[in-house]
Structure 1
Amino acid sequence: MNDQTFKMQPFPSAKPIPDLKIAGNIARQGNQFTIHYALLGDVKEVAFAAPSDTPARKHELWKDTCFEFFLGIKNSDQYWEFNLSPAGDWNIYRFDAYRQGMQEETAFTALPFSIQHLSDGLAIALDVELDKIVPANQAIEVGITTVIKHKDGEVSYWALTHQGTEADFHRRDSFIITL
């Protein structure tokens, strides 16, 4: 099992909410992939979409507070973007190369994940089998990201690392965890 903890940083030019932290852990055992996010701190300043009675696949979740991760096949340009909304909605997109050939990943028809509201934050956990998209013996590179929409309308972009002059979660040099 490959298990690692992580802590995200806001993009330097963003106006992050003071006293906000995003951390978690990620693991892969065989092709079982697990990720846990913890958003802690001054969450009363974070705008969350209303919880969905029937969570579903939805587009453009990144326009609001959204927990994301990117999986890339090692030594390949292909990668996937997973979007998890605190409202319960989700989506997965497949790319052939950097921002090229974006398509909804139809190998998944559901992406059940848990959302737990805490007194000082929010926790999101996902446990998913990757067999539909990646062979178990194939190394993957992971980028972990979050979009935080503030109640005042400002948006901050959080990631393990920011490699460019603009916030860009699709950059493969930011997929810094190998599993």
Structure 2
Amino acid sequence: MPTISPAFRQAVKKLSDKEKEAVILKAARRDAELYDMLRFELQDEVTLEEVYEEAADKIHELLLNASGRSLTKALTKALRKAMKEIARFKRVTKEPKAEIDLHLYTLRLIFDNFTGQFDSYYKGFYTATARLLLRTIQLIRKKLHEDYHLEYKSELDDFLQQIHSRPKHLTVDLPQEFEVE
């Protein structure tokens, strides 16, 4: 991210409203993420729930439509794309609770539909899921107030139990249960 110089700020201030509008529209046409950010910030009818639903639908589509010769590899690739979609959502909305809810939505999809793939010879999907779970736990502890910890505890403990019930070795150091402080 480039730093904005004082000279650049002055040049922007000197632009007329019509010129500013032209520059903003041109930039938004070139960058889809900038367009989404401006749409979220400027349009009152675009709510956080709508942006969340769009991201959740895309993640749902990515994971459930994963296919290929090796389903486990395809799911690993789809999970990487889902994580990029969550990062994009975070940059657009800057809303930590909604970001964590998307993490949990992704984990629910995985644990409801794809736990059979954890036993595959290819352990990339298993490891990626464990890393996502660890990242979600870290985000909850870092970004949310302690009152929310109880709300997520039972679901996270269930996910942790399912991960630890597999005989595979993990390079990720996962706790046995989510500890509420």
Asked whether the two chains share a fold, i.e. TM above 0.5, the reply is no
TM-score normalised by length of structure 2? 0.23
- Higher radius of gyration, 1 or 2: 2
- Looking at both structures, which has the greater relative contact order when contacts are Cα pairs under 8 Å and sequence separation is at least 6? 1
